[in-house]
Amino acid sequence: MFDVGFWELVTLALIALLIVGPEKLPKIAHDVGQFVAKIRRLIHDARLELEKELDVDSASSLQDSIDHVERLMKEAPDRLLNDKDTTHKTGS
């Protein structure tokens, strides 16, 4: 997600160790882990709520209908005739 490599993690851990101290680091790491878990749960719940409110299934079926109409328009007989007339006029 953040594209953090191994050496960046090592650097962050060393900085945290210097700032916080070795005796408080495990508790702070635990608290940060709980905070991240709560944020992930909040994002997940918000996403589910948005999908429920926006009714994603009906939106995707609407998009399918739009795509179907576009295909029908491209395959319409008058469109095909116009395309053939244009190719004959240009000599292709």
Domain that holds residue 36: 23-90
11 in a domain, yes or no? no
Q: Which two tokens stand for residue 54?
A: 């926006």
Q: Is 57 domain-assigned?
A: yes
Give yes or no for a contact between 21 and 15, defined as CB atoms under 8 angstroms apart.
no
Percent of the chain with pLDDT strictly greater than 70: 78
**Is 40 a member of any domain?**
yes
Residue 48 lies in a domain: yes
Burial class (CB in 10 A: 0-12, 13-18, 19+), 48: exposed
Token pair of 56, please? 């994603």
User: Is there a domain that residue 15 lies in?
Assistant: no
How far is it, in rounded angstroms, from Cα 51 to Cα 71? 28
Instruction: Work out how many domains the chain is built from and give that number.
Output: 1
pLDDT per residue as tens digits for the range 24-64: 988 988 998 999 999 999 999 998 888 788 776 666 777 88
